[in-house]
Structure 1
Amino acid sequence: VKQLSEDITGWQNKEKPKESFPSGFQWATSSVSFKTEGGWSEGGKGETIWDRFGHEGLAFANQTADLACDSYRKVDYDVYLLRGLQVDTYQFSISWARIFPTGYRQSQSEKGAQYYDQLINALVASGIQPIVTLYHWDLPQALQNYGGWTNASIVEAFKDYADFCFSRFGDRVKIWNTFNSPWVVSHAGYGTGVHAPGVKDYVESSYQVTHNILKSHAEAWHVYNDNYRKTQGGKVGIALNSDWAEPSDPAKPEDVAAADRYLQFMLGWFAHPIFVDGDYPAILKDQVEQKKTACSDSVPAKLPVFTPTESKRILGTADFFGLNHYTSRLVSNSDGGCTPGPDGVGDFHATVDPTWSSTASDWIYPVPWGLRRLLNYIATEYLSANKLPVYITGNGMPTDYSVDSLTDTSRMDYMRSYINEALKATLTDGVDVQRFTVQSLMDGFEANQGYSQRFGLHYVNFEVGSRPRTPKQSAYLYAEIIEQNGFSSQKSKKFKAAERPLTRRLAALPPSETGLVHHSFDTSSAQPLRLSTNCPSQNGCTDQVSLTLLSSNTQKVRWPAVWKY
């Protein structure tokens, strides 16, 4: 950690890297099933742990994800927004309970599978590659009733669910994440309990959850590798989340060691078994053993043990390294005593620099240089032998619900600076970063924070039942970055809306019937496309686009002329 920090600090003064990413670099945005879909009990969908969490009043202001962004009924709307962004790929998650309401195949909902067929087909038809996450936190409540991820039987249930998804969607889906941010599941879902299912047990449950998630991931990978890879030609990996840990004082060996422990307890907990040797990091195991000896009356951590067969089964089960990264911490050595949790067991203390700017989240502070350090750490720690590519599967920051506007300058600054650090890591440092995913496509139900925080490139009006979306200025900026495949050395005279040639266009209506909004940064003189009034509200498309195929002529679509809200 110390050497890496010193090296990159020196590199900052070198000649600036080229301003564009390599040809073929992929640009993406994302969404999460329970945060955006709504339709919580429609089409035969089963209850999830987040449905239960919200209905029990455990989220901010007793809010629920029952309707969320209503994406369950707005596939064309959302894909249209993606076309405006000009993204190459769209990462979304499948709700296990929408496919298997009870978590098991015998309860399969055909309507649930058809919803994802519709979304995937719309993406493919628009030239956008679907990237599917099998699990992003919304476990079927029926499985949680039997312990959820603490119950070893869930491994076979997840394996069967993954097998169904590969079989049903794999002819069109070529990139799969088995899990997204599994550390959050173990830490917040079963450790601190601030997330669903609200279990507060960092002594045993949290570690058992990680154990079963790793085994579930491995089984899913092997199912694909054995039964589908040859015919479908796809890739399967996992999206791991991690902060960067900077030693509070790089001159102190104890702080350097503490920063490494922070990374091993967060990232290494999952990455080491998959990418290194099939087992947990030695540092993590040593800390647990030391605490077991020192705290015989109140052991703060019980770490399960992999059998040799399980370790062999887990090792190498990734075709890429997926990384979610949002912020960094300053880490110092600190005696954690017998306190459960990573800080206590890991003997470290994490803080932030008071000069770092804040966001609506109490844990996300913009520290762009941390991404470059983390990418180099990953390349050295986990990818030096296998040379797998890195996909940045999530990066973003929230603004406050009450003050967020379409002019989201802070998000634009955050996005620009983090993408620039990924560019440096790619071109100057030689890290094989092949994709950048901005989180997220639109505002949504942000777990225990409800709707109090907005992560989206598109503003969602949650006060209106039709949940209209509006592109923020960050959406226009991202579209411009995508168009340039990075950053242009020439400043544009005018900041235009993103455009993508379409084979479909909107039915034309007189301006008085559309309520079009003109944006000062949209200087195109082309005749604007307009909304159709022939879109019945019962289909969930009020104030949306009528994607009627009017002719084979291509048409440039400009957001401000389409979305008035």
Structure 2
Amino acid sequence: MGQYLFSAVLATAVAERRFPAGFKFGVASSSYQIEGGWNASDKGESIWDRFVHTTPEAIVDGSNGDVACDSYHRWREDVQLLENLNVDFYRFSISWPRVLPTGFPNRLSEHGARYYGDLIDALLERGIEPVVTMYHWELPQTLQDLGGWANPLIADWFADYARVLFDLYGDRVQTWLTINEPLICDFGYDGIFAPGLQSAGRGSYLCSKYMLLAHARAYRLYEREYKPKYGGTVSLVNQVYWLEPQTEQDAELTELVRDISIGRYAHAVFSAEGGWPPALERYIAQKSAEEGEPRSRLPAFTQEEIELIRGSSDMFAINHYATAAVSAAAPDATYGVFAVEGVAELGAAVAPRPEWPPTASDWFTLYPEGFRGALLYLKQQYGDVEFFVTENGYAGSDDPLDDEPRVQYHRDYLAQVLLAMEEDGVRVAGYSAWSLMDSYEWMTGYQASMGLHHVDFSSPDRTRTPRRSAHYYAQVARTHDIDVDYSFHEGDNKL
């Protein structure tokens, strides 16, 4: 996304609540959530295909992404939506088994390769930059059958997959995101998300290590063979829940929870020393010994692995939605959704404060100031890195089209990004709204609407209609002014 030099121009922009020239606005999506076409052509089966077909009860409404928004067939409509939004970039993901049906490069799907190539070309023709995520949780089931993210060989398998993508699209894609939210290790190994395994605190830690190694192998491959030709950037995407102590007495515990939810992935890449956060590594080693384990359940890095991973990112790509407060857990505590980030391991309770307004999803409440807090903390921890907001969005609205709460959400959270840039000197290059349109929201199925566009999932055409928030965001992207005047009339497709 390039470096941004701060100046007096930025101070003026903030006073006007206007982002500076050079700041980029975009929207995001992911392949399983919008594409459908789950078995179209020669596409291979993914772990999500297997999970939703064999355990539909794991999804709130029993639904699946077999058709979703049908973007596999309706991608041209999506490109038109993007053009109407005036965005600078579109962040989308590639389905690993759609391109490599066996999971390995021995067999390339011509149909899958052409699908993403056509999408990239159409974006570029309209002046929209493709920002490509290589892995947004769609592991080929063939690789899961071999151990998936708990198999150390997956770092090589992922690098092989990355090479295929770099060869296919490297001449047209300048921004690559390797793995979206490695915290999926917790969800996937706590039985909540695909592959639905029960190995929290063991399998989840193996997954954490090998995802970091897979990312680093892909990064070093690009750095060595493709960056000299194309000059692009490669980064890992971190989900950052901002965490605050419930009381002053909870400050030390809060730091440990930050280590397991943020530092578990960021420290290895962005810190000066690399590896696991030292306090977390000591804690789990001690706890493992007390449990009679012969070694820590958090697998150690070799020095060679530490060097491979350290510095393997060209910017800090951040997804942010929620803030929570940390306190010591009662003996009979129930942990809720935040348990999947390992807080039960630490004896912590993590929950939103009661005064923070709720959304339609029980996993996050509204606290815009937490976004600024997260950005400042990351700068203090890892230095003057450049940030790129790869996801930020709002779940639900009472009205299907007049979603004023989503407009206010983006206005409030963008204001906090501006404050972080001006008051705290945080360098932020761009912002992605989640999401382009309503889509399959994992365990909540189609119950949580998060799109700037409403999708009629009862229609075979999966009709897309811009919401109030689409009209607002289109003008923000055009003017960079978060207080911009805009018009909205229900049913008006002209933004």
The TM-score normalised by the length of structure 1 is: 0.81
One-letter amino acid matched to 1:391: F
Paired residues of 1:101 and 1:107 also in contact (CA < 8 A): yes
The alpha-carbon deviation at position 334 of structure 1 amounts to 4.2
- Residue 50 of structure 1 is matched in structure 2 by 48
Give the match for residue 397 of structure 1. Answer: 394
Which residue does 1:20 correspond to in 2?
18
Residue 189 (1) aligns with residue 184 (2): no
Matched residue type, 1:435: G
CA distance 1:66–1:28, change in 2 (3 Å): same
Give the distance between the partners of 1:297 and 1:92, measured in 2 at CA. Answer: 42
Q: Which amino acid aligns with 2:385?
A: L
Partner of 2:206: 208
Number of aligned positions between the proteins: 475
Query: Whole-Å Cα distance in 2 between the matches of residues 336 and 258 of structure 1?
Result: 16
Task: For residue 444 of structure 1, give the secondary structure of its aligned residue in structure 2.
Answer: coil
Paired residue secondary structure (1:453) = coil
1:425-444 aligned at under 5 Å gives the runs 425-444=420-439
Distance 1:170 1:368 in 2: 36
* d(CA) in 2 for partners of 1:279, 1:430: 27
CA offset at residue 346 of structure 1? Answer: 2.1
Shift of 1:344: 2.8
- Checking the alignment, whether the CA contact within 8 Å between 1:284 and 1:346 is kept in structure 2 is no
Q: CA deviation at 1:64?
A: 1.3
Task: Please report how far the alpha carbon of residue 486 of structure 1 lies from its aligned counterpart in structure 2 after TM superposition.
Answer: 2.9
* Residue number in structure 1 paired with 2:281: 285
Corresponding position of 1:10: none
Find the aligned partners of 1:331 and 1:45 in 2 and give their Cα distance: 43
Query: Which residue of structure 2 aligns with residue 509 of structure 1?
Result: none
8 Å Cα contact 2:201/2:345 also seen in 1:
no
Q: 263, 266, 278: which one pairs with 1:268?
A: 263
Letter in 2 for 1:247: P
Work out the CA distance in 2 between the residues paired with 1:304 and 1:352: 31
Counterpart CA distance in 1 for 2:444 and 2:107 is 31
Q: Within the alignment, does 1:133 sit opposite 2:65 as a pair?
A: no
Q: Deviation of residue 60 (structure 1)?
A: 2.7
For 1:279 and 1:337, the matched residues in 2 are separated by: 33
Q: C-alpha displacement at 1:59, in angstroms?
A: 2.2
Q: Mapping of 1:81-230 within 5 angstroms?
A: 81-183=81-183, 185-190=184-189, 192-230=190-228
User: What's the CA shift string for 1:397-433, capped at 9, x where partnerless?
Assistant: 2116xx4510112211211111110011012211001
Instruction: Name the amino acid aligned to 2:284.
Output: V
CA distance in 2, matches of 1:480, 1:238: 29
Counterpart among 298, 312, 330 of residue 303 in structure 1:
298
1:19 match: secondary structure? coil
Partner of 1:450: 445
- CA pair 562-476 structure 1, distance change in 2 beyond 3 A: closer
Deviation string 1:190-235 (CA, Å, 9 cap, x unpaired) is 1x21101101111310000011100000000011000000111100
Amino acid of the residue matched to residue 396 of structure 2? T
2:359 aligned partner: 359
Of the three residues 413, 419, 442, the one matched with 2:414 is 419
- Is the CA contact (8 Å cut-off) linking 1:291 and 1:345 kept in structure 2? no
Given that residues 39 and 66 in structure 1 are in contact (C-alpha distance below 8 angstroms), is that contact kept between their aligned partners in structure 2? yes
Residue 179 of structure 2 contacts residue 236 of structure 2 at CA under 8 Å; is this kept in 1?
yes
Question: Shift in Å at residue 18 of structure 1?
Answer: 4.2
Work out whether residues 414 and 482 of structure 2, in 8 Å CA contact, stay in contact via their aligned partners in 1.
Answer: no
Distance in 2 (CA, whole Å) between partners of 1:476 and 1:337 is: 47
**Do 2:43 and 2:97's aligned partners in 1 also have CA atoms closer than 8 Å?**
yes
Aligned equivalents of 1:239, 1:264: Cα separation in 2: 16
Matches within 5 A, 1:297-376: 302-334=297-329, 342-376=342-376
Q: Would you say the 8 A contact 1:21–1:427 is kept in 2?
A: no
The Cα shift of 1:352 comes to 1.4
For residue 319 of structure 1, report the CA deviation from its aligned partner: 0.3
Alpha-carbon distance, 1:25 to partner? 0.1
SS at match of 1:316: coil
CA contact (8 A) 1:17 1:423 kept: no
- Structure 1 residue 315 displacement after superposition: 0.6
Structure 1's 98 and 416: CA in aligned 2 closer, same or farther, altered over 3 A?
Answer: same
Aligned partner letter, 2:111: K
Q: Contact 1:443/1:458 (CA < 8 Å) preserved in 2? A: yes
Contact 1:175-1:235 at 8 Å conserved across structures: yes
The answer to whether the Cα contact below 8 Å between 1:376 and 1:429 also exists between their aligned partners in 2 is yes
**SS at structure 1 position matched to 2:90:** strand
User: Structure 1 427/562 Cα, relative in aligned 2: closer, same or farther at 3 Å?
Assistant: closer
Cα separation, 2, equivalents of 1:159 and 1:371: 32
SS in 1 for 2:41: helix
Q: Secondary structure at the match of 2:83?
A: helix
Q: Give the drift of 1:349.
A: 1.7
Structure 1: segments with no counterpart, 5+ residues = 1-14, 498-518, 521-558
TM-fit CA distance, 1:166: 0.8
Q: Which runs of 5+ in 2 are unaligned?
A: 1-12
1:280 offset after TM fit, Å? 0.4
CA displacement 1:135-188 (0-9 Å, x = unmatched) = 0011111111111111111111100000110111011100000011111x2110
* Structure 1 residue 364: Cα displacement: 1.0
Structure 2 CA distance, aligned partners of 1:179 and 1:38? 21
- Once the two structures are TM-superposed, the CA of residue 487 in structure 1 deviates from its matched residue by 2.7
Question: Alpha-carbon deviation of 1:337?
Answer: 11
Aligned residues: percent identity? 37
Residue deviations 1:325-351 (CA, integer Å, cap 9, x gap):
001001123488999962232232212
**From 4, 28, 31, the counterpart of 1:30:** 28
| Shift of residue 360, structure 1, vs aligned partner | 1.3
| CA RMSD, 1 decimal | 2.2
Name the CA distance, whole Å, in 1 between partners of 2:72 and 2:178: 22
